């Protein structure tokens, strides 16, 4: 998919709202609390987005995919997630499954992908930048922004000590842009084990 702009923080704020709405034990006005907490992370989230966008991770480009997965894993481990790597055979890249355990009942799956449609060298040609309040760069919207959205939504919940879920799983696909040939069964199996699946693939008005 083409690289388009995205409004900073909008995705992970919306995702955090959805996560809290899944449980019956939420305060009457949770959005204000979440939004206030998320606001402090704007600069930090944009720095992570910049790091990811400035890495070439086109489908099949193992060095870049490994860099992206390593960064995501590092961030998810800070939140207490356990990590499983699933080989993207026959390539040397891996899909990532990160799991957080809570104290509630709902099982929630968040999905994003690490690969882009852009060739090696694209990040150097068109590096991450912000213009008129929007972020640009190869894969900024599809789907590096989705990875950042997942990480910072979970960071907000972690900071607010929100654990009213049984499990939150983050699945990062290494091959979405080429059809998720190996990942398809992994996605189906993992989704069946959860009550709700949120795909962090971007949307735009032209999609209807």
Positions annotated as catalytic residues are: 115, 176
* Integer Cα distance of 103 and 71 in angstroms: 27
Residue 169, by phi and psi: left (phi above 0), alpha (psi -120 to 50) or beta? beta
Among 73, 21, 90, 13, which Cα is nearest to 45's?
A: 13
**C-alpha distance across the termini of the chain, in Å:** 16
119 three-state secondary structure = coil
Q: What residues have CB less than 8 Å from 77, skipping those under 6 apart?
A: 83
- Retrieve residue 57's tokens: 């991770």
* Integer Cα distance of 139 and 114 in angstroms: 9
* Integer Cα distance of 10 and 204 in angstroms: 13
> Contact, 8 vs 45, CB < 8 A?
yes
Q: What are phi and psi of 182, to 5 degrees?
A: -80, -35
């Amino acid at each position: 998919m083409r690289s388009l702009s995205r409004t900073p923080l909008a995705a992970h704020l919306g995702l955090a709202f959805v996560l809290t709405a899944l449980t019956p034990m939420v305060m009457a006005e949770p959005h204000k609390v979440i939004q206030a907490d998320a606001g402090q992370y704007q600069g930090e989230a944009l720095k992570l987005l910049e790091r990811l966008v400035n890495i070439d991770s086109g489908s099949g480009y193992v060095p870049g995919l490994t860099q992206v997965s390593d960064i995501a894993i590092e961030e998810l481990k800070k939140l207490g997630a356990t990590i499983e790597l699933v080989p993207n055979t026959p390539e040397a890249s891996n899909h990532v499954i990160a799991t957080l355990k809570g104290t509630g009942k709902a099982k929630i799956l968040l999905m994003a992908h690490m690969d882009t449609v852009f060739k090696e060298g694209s990040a150097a040609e068109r590096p991450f930048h912000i213009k008129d309040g929007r972020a640009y760069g190869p894969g900024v919207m599809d789907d590096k922004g989705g990875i950042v959205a997942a990480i910072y939504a979970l960071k907000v919940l972690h900071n607010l000590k929100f654990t009213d879920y049984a499990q939150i799983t983050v699945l990062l696909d290494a091959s979405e842009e080429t059809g998720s040939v190996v990942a398809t069964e992994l996605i189906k199996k993992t989704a069946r084990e959860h009550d709700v699946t949120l795909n962090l693939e971007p949307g735009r008005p032209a999609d209807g």
